[in-house]
Structure 1
């Protein structure tokens, strides 16, 4: 049951907590991790009853999830979790390559040496996971890497947009359940990107990151 799963996840509500934010975080986590599957219907009434709260914060949370594309609403018919399609996965991979490349570009222009070394260490974890063919660890390491770059970008608007989109990106890529490209291709791109980062070449690092996602390929040597 969706409602009982959410009730267990949310637990006792903290005093002064913003209920809509708590509900949003709980439902979005359940969707991203697959505990609420695509196509499954959700009800503001039943969720509110299960959590012992009013329907208003639940509606606010579902509206945010609808705006993000994790939930879809047909008035007077249903409110349900969106299903991941092949087209959606392809669009997500393209989007991730472009936006993650921009995060790397911005961060490299503003990171100090300590932050750069921290970013490279995160990239090394991505390389190790990629070489091992560990899709779950590569996804986790990639999210940590891009999240770190986004924080280091120094651009609050960019960071806000990336944060909001990160939930949809994570759900779609987890649903895909596959690694992008071959291990050899990923390794080549990641290692070129690593070298460019250490050399202070922001443009080169960005382009290699994009190439790994299949965008910007004409700007780099084969």
Structure 2
């Protein structure tokens, strides 16, 4: 798929906000397009072409591409190419491992620190994961898990953890789509996790969240 096919110009208009810089808006648009794989792994990116499609100067595009390079969605070889990063099996597995470890820490802190209303909302997001697992929908499960884990991080009471996980979220979501999860045994684990959270048993909830998540066939 080419840059023009991703309809980036339409997305940029949807992101219009006087309080947000043009560079930030371009960053959001490109990030969303890469995560959704409208800009596919390995696809070459031209700041000139993107700027022309968006009808803006190249400076904010270059700024956005630099930020995306920092978080791992874009890679640059000077004087050769700028392209969307590929997702190898090793990278997908590493992303899964990182997500589980960080999510376990967020769970431990959040269960102890959330008030009752926040806990109830967290459980409602977990219910979406349970529904996706019941329906054996691996893709929906990844999306629901992203929302759930993001909520835990924001309510962990640890600003550093929340910031790091927020920055990594787009990269992890894109990479984890390459992992096909066996959803069948997860429903019961998530239901047990739900009960542990409601009981404020942070250790049990963390342990359940950190159970090995194995791809199909492992």
Give the TM-score, by structure 1 length.
0.89
- The residue number in structure 1 matching 2:57 is 54
Q: 1:11-160 alignment to 2 at 5 Å?
A: 11=13, 13-15=16-18, 17-160=20-163
Measure the CA separation in 1 of the matches of 2:98 and 2:160: 17
Counterparts of 1:156 and 1:146, CA distance in 2? 15
**TM superposition shift of 1:78:** 0.2
- Once residues 134 and 212 of structure 2 are traced to their aligned partners in structure 1, the CA distance between those partners, rounded to angstroms, is 14
Partners of 2:51 and 2:140 in 1: CA distance: 35
Unaligned runs of 5+ in 1: 215-222
| SS of residue matched to 2:79 | coil
The answer as to whether partners of 2:26 and 2:60 remain within 8 angstroms in 1 is yes
Aligned-pair RMSD on alpha carbons?
Answer: 1.7
Counterparts of 1:105 and 1:157, CA distance in 2: 15
| Contact 2:125–2:144 (Cα < 8 Å) also in 1 | yes
Cα distance in 2 for residues equivalent to 1:17 and 1:112: 32
Residue ranges of structure 2 left out of the alignment (5+ in a row): none
Shift of 1:195: 2.0
Query: 1:8 aligns to what SS in structure 2?
Result: helix
2:36 touches 2:174 (CA, 8 Å); kept in 1? yes
Q: Which residue does the alignment assign to 1:219?
A: none
Residue equivalent to 1:195: 195
User: 1:212 and 1:52 mapped to 2: Cα distance?
Assistant: 47
Contact 1:189 1:212 in 2 (8 A): no
Cα deviation, 1:94-135, whole Å, max 9, x if unaligned, reads 011001111111111110112112212221221121011012
**Whole-Å separation in 2 of the counterparts to 1:122 and 1:51:** 35
1:126-180 per-residue CA deviation (whole Å, 9 max, x = no partner) reads 112101101232222212211111111121111111110000001011233x22x
